[in-house]
Amino acid sequence: MYRFLMTRQWVILTLLVLALIPTMIELGFWQLHRHEHRVEQNALITRNLEAEPVPVARVTSPGHTVPRSDYWKAVTATGTFDTEHEVVVRRRTSRDERIGVLVLTPLDLKGGGTVLVNRGWVPAAADQQAYPEVPPPPGGEVTVAGRLKADETTSASGIKDLRGLPDRQVMLINSAQQSHLLGRPVLGGYLELTSPEPAGGSPETIAAPDDGSIGPHMAYAVQWWLFAAGVPVGWVVLVRREKRDRAQAAADAEAAREPEPATA
């Protein structure tokens, strides 16, 4: 009764089912791992943002690569802004998704050293080759607070990032690149400004990272595992339906072959 399972159509369908089950199980675990990563990241963000701020020079130094454990760590810095070497980072979005630039200003630290400060977002100039209007930072010695972030890097980072760009415009926030341009050491990573609040709200400071949402990854994982469980169930349903249909067709064919009873 199940000889039909050896037909080409059913062999292909069975092989497809056997391939789908482990694939869906693996996709479920992939989503589970993404969920676990998000939960871990949220805990890291919360822990680092709520920790007591420390001087930035305690957690980074020139050439230092900021480890993931220090992302968003609350830091402070005291020094003087070097507006002469300020640059803007192109193609960045504001809190309401407008395209503009980030203002990146070196802060020469009291006691020596320089750290990059991302002061926030401003609209780009109408002419993409022109330097936009950027409100000046506070003059004189100032103490700022913010979140420590790692250098932005790509396969085209470094000095190559500046080729073809207008003066004082970059594509990445990268301490090694800025150290080359400044001609002096710059602390690894950068400070994302949170205070003092800019006068008039410009530049627009960067919003705090989301540490409350865990996303839909766990729901997706459960869905994939339900699909994996449903595939063999569906296969069994199709087999039983095929068996029933074939049995009914055979019965109908047998009935059609039987002679009709003679009439008087």
Confidence (pTM): 0.78
Given a cut of 80, whether residue 201 has pLDDT beyond it is yes
- Per-residue pLDDT reduced to its tens digit, 50-82: 999 999 999 999 999 999 999 999 999 999 999
Q: Which range among 13-17, 54-58, 208-212 shows the weakest confidence by mean pLDDT?
A: 208-212
**Contact, 230 vs 222, CB < 8 A?**
no
Which candidate, 107, 102, 108, 109, places its Cα nearest to that of 87? 102
Rounded mean pLDDT, 202-231: 93
Query: What is the bridge-based pairing of β-strands 99-109 and 74-81?
Result: antiparallel
Residue ranges of the domains in the chain? 47-201
φ/ψ of 54, rounded to 5, equals: -125, 155
Please give the pLDDT value at position 260: 62
- Per-residue pLDDT reduced to its tens digit, 129-144: 899 999 999 999 999 9
All residues at 6 or more sequence positions from 65 whose CB lies less than 8 Å from its CB, including other chains: 150, 151, 188, 189
Compute and round to an integer the Cα radius of gyration of the chain.
Answer: 32
Please give the pLDDT value at position 245: 87
* Cα separations in angstroms, 116 against 48, 78, 124, 146, 198: 20, 12, 20, 11, 17
Which candidate, 22, 18, 16, 19, places its Cα nearest to that of 225? 22
Indicate the pLDDT class of residue 40, thresholds 50, 70 and 90: very high
DSSP string, 181-193: HHTS--BSSEEEE
Phi/psi-derived region of residue 234, left when phi > 0, alpha when psi is between -120 and 50, beta in every other case: alpha
Q: Report the C-alpha gap between 221 and 262 in whole angstroms.
A: 67
Please give the pLDDT value at position 161: 54
Half-sphere exposure for 168 (CA within 13 Å, toward CB): 16
Please give the pLDDT value at position 159: 46
